[in-house]
Amino acid sequence: MKPRWPTRLAALGVLAFLYAPIVMVVSWSFNAARNGTVWEGFTLRWYQALIESPEALGALRLSLGLALASTLLSTVLGTLLALGLRDRRARFLESLLPLPAFVPDVVFAAALLLLLALIERATGFSTLGFTAMLVGHVTFQLPFVTLVVRARLRDLDPALEEAARDLGASRSQTIWHITLPLLLPGVIAAALLAFTLSLDDFIVSFFTGGPGGTTLPVFIYASLKRGLSPVVHALASILVVLSVLAVAGATLLRSRNP
């Protein structure tokens, strides 16, 4: 049934509402006004200032390194998990996978901090900082990666794997030469989404990052406490553009049929 014009108008209104903050931040990053949000002309000055700020570049480097490392780990673990979940006996485990999406992020971050503190008390080994953030990021990425790869696996034609097996390939040969190459677009899409999740995380890094854990979102949060600065708009715009590119890439990969 075709929706009538009020429905379509309302849908467009909601989309405008969703995009308003992103579009505004990007436009402010090119705004010559030092204070406030009223347009005073185009400038690239804030991007220039950003390149000359060692703190901002340090945060960018930390965020990218953390996102790369956590994505690599979670993609490997998640792809394996998705392969194993094809076994019918793992159905219960599969039904639990979406659970992390329902848990408030502050609760997870606090719980992880608690675990790490107890480990430190028992062994004297402090993980707060990069290791803690890495563990936290992999944990919230893992279910996402698994669900995305699992969806791709469901769309694969089982006849291809069966043919390989019938022709004498072992299970690992079949996985390596047939399943994984067919799965690759789904795996890359999952990795792109995981990368975005890590790049945009604030809460887990804020709780477990320690003094040296200033990732981009933490840096932006700290700058906000000192008041909005146009340089923050430039930094935020870079973060937004990176995420949008990654998600568009993932969508492109996922929309291609296996």
Instruction: Assess 115 for contact with another protein (CB under 8 A).
Output: yes
Choose which of 32, 44, 57, 107 interacts with another protein (CB under 8 A).
Answer: 107
Q: Which of 101, 120, 157, 176 binds another protein (CB under 8 A)?
A: 101
Among 51, 166, 226, 255, binds another protein (CB under 8 A): 255
- By CB under 8 A, is residue 111 in contact with another protein? yes
Are the beta carbons of 225 and 17 closer than 8 angstroms?
no
Minimum CB distance to another protein, residue 51 (Å): 19
Q: Does 180 bind another protein (CB under 8 A)?
A: no
Kindly tell me which residue out of 47, 62, 136, 185 binds another protein, with binding defined by CB under 8 A. 136
In whole angstroms, the minimum distance from the beta carbon of 163 to another protein comes to 18
Q: Does the protein bind another protein through residue 113 (CB under 8 A)?
A: yes
Minimum separation from the CB atom of position 44 to another protein (A): 19
Binding positions for another protein, 212-251, rule CB under 8 A: 216-217, 220-221, 224, 228, 232, 236, 239-240, 243-244, 246-248, 251
Task: Identify the burial level of 82 via C-beta atoms within 10 angstroms of its C-beta, where 0-12 means exposed, 13-18 middle and 19 or more buried.
Answer: buried
Pick the binder of another protein from 178, 179, 207, 234 (CB under 8 A). Answer: 207
Contacts with another protein by CB under 8 A: the residue count is: 95
Q: Answer yes or no: are the C-beta atoms of 114 and 159 closer than 8 Å.
A: no
Minimum distance between the CB of residue 210 and another protein, rounded to whole angstroms? Answer: 13
Q: Does 258 bind another protein (CB under 8 A)?
A: no
Contacts of 89 by beta carbon, 8 Å cutoff, 6+ apart = none
Q: Of 181, 248, 217, 249, give the one whose Cα is nearest residue 67.
A: 217
80 near another protein, rule: CB under 8 A? yes
Least separation in angstroms between residue 110's CB and another protein is 5
* Candidate residues 44, 48, 52, 171; the one interacting with another protein per rule CB under 8 A: 171
How far apart, in whole angstroms, are the C-alpha atoms of residue 184 and residue 243? Answer: 21
Q: Tokens representing 92?
A: 């219960």
Distance CA 238, CA 29 (A): 10
Give the whole-angstrom CA distance, residue 78 versus residue 182: 16
Q: Is 32 in the site for another protein (CB under 8 A)?
A: no
Q: Which of 32, 34, 36, 52 binds another protein (CB under 8 A)?
A: 36
Which residues fall within 8 angstroms of residue 101, CB to CB, at 6 or more apart? 143
Residue the block writes with tokens 């973060």? 239
Of positions 193, 194, 231, 253, contacts another protein by CB under 8 A:
193
DSSP characters over 185-251? HHHHHHHHHHHHHHHH--HHHHHHS-TT---HHHHHHHHHHT---HHHHHHHHHHHHHHHHHHHHHH
